[in-house]
């Protein structure tokens, strides 16, 4: 949440090296809090660690993620970027072949048979791919396109985090009311809409309006993230939790890297098409449109989930049962009332 303004402050008033060094104390604090507050979930049966699979998957994912992250940024020669991505893809292909022959793979793709996890992985990848480009495109637009300092840019993009914080207090109630499938399907489109609105930002757009749009968009994006991260484990058994966590986490990181690559590629393509050599505010609009459409496409995967997906963990099942009981009681009351009125009509006719 405090990353954008803190990173902007460090870049503006100190050395950019601290952006990386600050991860050390924050990381140590995160490790301590995880050990202190998160209960360890252990499998009843011990399984051998897939060291060979970890090496193949590690090399493959590192090559793909790093290659995609620097693609289009002109930080490395294209030959190096291509070698990273292709080498990573070859290593991941070897891993997939290996995973089919081992009983305890480090990345268990068989878990994708679960409808909720499959939707969270594939749909979540599409959604995060679009959203992952936002922290890359928006600061560039603010700094290079609008001429803001990194610190001021961080304060503007911080608005998105404010919306995310506000949503956390309402997420459980919203999910319980609408259910995972309905909420995730519709909210993916709504979130993508606010992402696409960023394409309309110009130098003359008041910063207040930009911040309001980012706050509202951050609310809906954070709601979608919460739903995706929760429903992913709805049908996962305790013994499979470790593998599922690994699979989901890797998917998240790849989506963010791919989002940066797609955003950078869109900017580069727009510059080439417009025959310009320097980045300005006009080259960002197509990128925002592309990533918005990509995020919206994730709704198709979410709609493929069962209608009652995740009801057990969201409390939606209890709400539906209570609703059915209320409807049944109302129907019974109406039936008794109708029968009483019919009886009264018969009596009135006889008296007549």
Domains and CATH numbers, the chain: 3-16+106-321 (1.20.1250.20)
Tokens of 266: 């869109």
Percentage of the chain lying above the pLDDT 70 cut: 87
142 contacts 7 by C-beta, under 8 angstroms: no
Q: Supply φ then ψ for residue 95, to 5 degrees.
A: -65, -45
111 contacts 240 by C-beta, under 8 angstroms: yes
Dist. CA 139–CA 156, nearest whole Å: 9
**How close are the terminal C-alpha atoms of the chain, in Å?**
78
pTM score of the predicted model: 0.77
> Of 78, 82, 141, whose CA–CA distance to 291 is shortest?
141
pLDDT in tens, 32-69: 999 999 888 776 777 788 889 899 999 998 888 888 77
CB atoms within 10 A of CB 264: 22
For the four alpha carbons of 215, 294, 305 and 68, in that order, the dihedral sign comes to negative
User: How much is the pLDDT for 72?
Assistant: 62
pLDDT in tens, 229-285: 889 888 888 778 888 888 898 888 888 888 888 888 888 889 888 888 788 888 899
User: How much is the pLDDT for 336?
Assistant: 45
* Residue that wins the pLDDT comparison between 64 and 28: 28
What is the pLDDT confidence band of residue 202, given thresholds at 50, 70 and 90?
A: confident
User: How much is the pLDDT for 123?
Assistant: 93
What is the pLDDT confidence band of residue 295, given thresholds at 50, 70 and 90?
A: very high
Residues near 264 by Cβ (< 8 Å), separated by ≥ 6?
71, 72, 73, 136
Which of 286-311 are b and which e, b meaning 16 or more Cβ less than 10 Å from the residue's Cβ?
bbbebbbebbbbbbebbbebeeebbb
Dist. CA 8–CA 296, nearest whole Å: 30
What is the pLDDT confidence band of residue 317, given thresholds at 50, 70 and 90?
A: low
User: How much is the pLDDT for 73?
Assistant: 64
> Does residue 158 carry a pLDDT above 50?
yes
> Of 215, 235, 114, 106, whose CA–CA distance to 155 is shortest?
215
Give the up-direction half-sphere exposure of residue 213: CA atoms within 13 A in the CB hemisphere. 17
pLDDT in tens, 109-153: 888 899 999 999 999 999 998 878 888 888 888 888 888 888 888
Tokens of 346: 């018969």
């Amino acid at each position: 949440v405090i990353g954008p303004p803190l990173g902007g402050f460090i870049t503006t008033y100190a050395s950019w090296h601290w952006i990386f060094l600050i991860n050390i104390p924050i990381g140590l604090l995160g490790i301590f809090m995880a050990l202190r507050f998160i209960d360890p979930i252990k499998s009843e049966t011990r399984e051998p660690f897939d060291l060979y699979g970890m090496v193949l998957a590690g090399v493959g994912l590192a090559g793909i993620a790093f290659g995609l992250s620097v693609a289009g940024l002109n930080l490395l020669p294209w030959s190096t970027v291509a070698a990273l991505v292709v080498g990573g893809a070859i290593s991941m292909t070897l891993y997939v072949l290996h995973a089919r022959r081992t009983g305890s793979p480090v990345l268990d793709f068989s878990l994708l048979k679960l409808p909720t996890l499959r939707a969270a992985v594939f749909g979540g990848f599409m959604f995060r791919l679009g959203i992952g480009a936002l922290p890359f495109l928006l600061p560039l637009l603010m700094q290079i396109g609008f001429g803001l300092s990194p610190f001021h840019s961080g304060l503007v993009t911080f608005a998105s985090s404010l919306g995310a914080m506000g949503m956390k207090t309402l997420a459980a109630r919203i999910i319980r009311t609408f259910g995972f499938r309905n909420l995730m399907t519709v909210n993916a489109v709504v979130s993508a809409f606010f992402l696409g609105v960023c394409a309309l930002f110009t130098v003359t757009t008041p910063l207040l309006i930009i911040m309001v749009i980012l706050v509202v968009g951050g609310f809906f994006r954070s709601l979608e993230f919460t739903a995706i991260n929760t429903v992913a484990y709805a049908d996962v058994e305790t013994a499979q939790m470790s593998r599922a966590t690994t699979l989901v986490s890797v998917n998240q990181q790849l989506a963010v890297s791919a989002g940066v690559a797609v955003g950078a590629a869109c900017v580069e393509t727009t510059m080439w098409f417009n025959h310009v050599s320097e980045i300005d505010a006009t080259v960002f609009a197509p990128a925002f449109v592309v990533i918005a459409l990509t995020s919206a496409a994730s709704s198709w995967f979410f709609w493929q989930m069962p209608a009652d997906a995740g009801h057990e963990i969201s409390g939606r099942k209890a709400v539906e049962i209570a609703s059915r009981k209320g409807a049944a009681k109302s129907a019974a009351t109406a039936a008794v009332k109708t029968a009483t009125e019919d009886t009264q009509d018969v009596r009135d006719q006889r008296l007549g």
